[in-house]
């Protein structure tokens, strides 16, 4: 075991070279003290052409600021609000990838990492540390990078799952900055209606993937009458805590990780972070395990609930973009859609409001030009809005159009029917009338 000693952030980042690709710990646990030190090196003219890779990150993102063009280049696996404007202006970029595959990009050398910069918990008695709220693809980055830098922060919870030896790192930096937290807005009336429609498709003993945000929280509020639910999800937040504390989530019916809550990253209140700290019922695992469709499918009744920016009348789902404008990322949607499809008794749902906040229909004749297809129409199963739920699996294009129109906003149905008629011809109209 090598000798452990700590250095200042500025000393640690001196090991980073111009041209390096850098992995950042993500979401609530971004190592901002190291980013700030790199900014100081950039301002001093010491580095250039640094490429950053990560999931969604909370907090400032100077690596995407136009003023650092030619010095920093953002190439995230997911686009959050802090980098969205720069990505769509061309000062930063987006690397489309299913989250399950991010670790593979590092391990097989597709992305040759110069450095991995992460935050970790205080070590345990065996010298092991936890990546806490954001394991994501960091274990692969730590294995693959030339330089491995960890910020040891007492605010990072010690979560069981994939632990890392402290002596795996080349540089250790102390910091006690609190992790980023997020308070989610109260579910809207539309969210509540969608949550109710989704809850009707969740059976007792189901293993859930349900994400974070106001809609998953609305769904969680509708599951209080269910029994023995499980959790295997890339992320979760405060919404599930109430179900856990009421004994509704037990994981009793899971075939793998039985009784355990499995996730890869979190974003929520400090209550969530405290909940996972030294909690043997929670496993925070690498995304290559959590989002592996085959691993997902090993549990029965996997029920995945994901959202979308729009869906066309044939069932193609866009979730990462609005036309050519990148909004978020492919994420793990298809990982779980396919995992649920292979699960015994599995159910996958795409849940979305029928309209945007500006009153535009999210069920559209065709996706906006340039929009990315995240879930192909061949993979789609249930689609849920505030007006109901329809199952597109095993349905033809014309049948899908009719079903999707039935759960669109009432004021949009006539226009959608005209579009379907134009696309499919009078035969579609005859089928519609006959049924």
Residue with tokens 């065996």: 126
- 133 within 8 A of 29, measured Cβ to Cβ: yes
403 three-state secondary structure: helix
Respond yes or no: is residue 286 known to be catalytic.
no
> Tokens representing 26?
């993500």
- 328 within 8 A of 283, measured Cβ to Cβ: no
Q: How far is 86 from 89, CA to CA, in rounded Å? A: 5
Q: Choose, from 234, 286, 310, 386, the residue flagged as catalytic.
A: 234
Provide DSSP, 135-185: -TTHHHHHHH-SEEEEEE-TTS---SBSEEEGGG-SEEEE--PPPP--PPP
From residue 365, how far is each of 311, 327, 360, 414 by CA, in Å? 8, 21, 12, 12
Burial of 90 (0-12, 13-18, 19+ CB in 10 A): exposed
**Strands 113-120, 147-152: parallel, antiparallel or unpaired by DSSP?**
parallel
- 187 within 8 A of 217, measured Cβ to Cβ: yes
Provide DSSP, 279-343: -TTEEE--HHHHT-HHHHHTSTTEEEEE--SEEETT--EE-SEETTEE-S--TTHHHHHHHHHHS
413 three-state secondary structure: helix
Interior angle at CA 222, CA 219 and CA 225, nearest 5: 135
Q: How far is 91 from 428, CA to CA, in rounded Å? A: 46
- 256 within 8 A of 299, measured Cβ to Cβ: yes
* Number of residues assigned to the chain: 435
| Positions marked active-site | 234
């Amino acid at each position: 075991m090598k000798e452990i000693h700590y250095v200042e952030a500025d000393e640690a980042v001196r090991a980073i070279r111009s041209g390096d690709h850098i992995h950042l710990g993500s979401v609530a646990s971004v190592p901002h003290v190291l980013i700030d030190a790199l900014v100081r090196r950039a301002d001093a003219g010491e580095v250039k052409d640094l490429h950053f890779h990560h999931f969604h990150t909370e907090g400032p993102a100077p690596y995407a600021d136009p003023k650092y063009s030619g010095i920093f280049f953002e190439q995230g696996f997911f686009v959050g609000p802090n980098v969205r404007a720069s990505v769509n202006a061309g000062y930063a970029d987006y690397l489309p990838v299913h989250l399950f595959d991010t670790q593979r990009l590092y391990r097989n050398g597709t992305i040759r990492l110069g450095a991995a910069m992460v935050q970790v918990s205080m070590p345990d008695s065996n010298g092991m540390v936890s990546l806490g709220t954001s394991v994501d693809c960091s274990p692969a980055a730590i294995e693959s990078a030339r330089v491995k830098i960890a910020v040891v922060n007492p605010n990072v919870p010690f979560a069981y799952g994939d632990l890392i030896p402290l002596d795996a790192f080349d540089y250790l930096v102390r910091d006690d900055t609190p992790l980023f937290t997020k308070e989610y807005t109260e579910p809207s009336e539309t969210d509540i209606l969608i949550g109710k429609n989704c809850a009707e498709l969740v059976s007792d003993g189901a293993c859930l993937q349900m994400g974070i945000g106001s809609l998953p929280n609305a769904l969680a509020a509708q599951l209080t009458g269910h029994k023995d639910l499980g959790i295997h999800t890339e992320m979760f937040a405060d919404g599930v805590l109430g179900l856990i504390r009421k004994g509704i989530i037990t994981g009793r019916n899971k075939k793998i990780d039985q009784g355990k809550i499995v996730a890869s990253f979190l974003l929520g209140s400090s209550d969530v972070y405290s909940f996972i700290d030294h909690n043997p019922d929670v496993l925070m695992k690498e995304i290559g395990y959590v989002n592996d469709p085959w691993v997902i499918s090993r549990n029965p009744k996997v029920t995945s609930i994901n959202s979308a920016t729009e869906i066309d009348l044939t069932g193609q789902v866009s979730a990462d973009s609005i036309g050519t404008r990148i909004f978020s990322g492919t994420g793990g949607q298809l990982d779980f859609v396919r995992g649920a499809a292979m699960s015994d008794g599995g159910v996958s749902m795409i849940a979305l409001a029928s309209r945007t906040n500006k009153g535009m229909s999210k069920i559209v004749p065709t996706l906006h030009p340039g929009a990315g297809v995240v879930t192909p129409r061949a993979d789609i199963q249930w689609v849920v809005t505030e007006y109901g739920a329809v199952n597109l699996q095993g349905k033809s294009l014309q049948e899908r159009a009719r079903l999707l129109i039935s759960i669109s906003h009432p004021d949009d149905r006539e226009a959608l029917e005209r579009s379907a008629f134009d696309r499919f011809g009078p035969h579609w109209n005859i089928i519609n009338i006959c049924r």
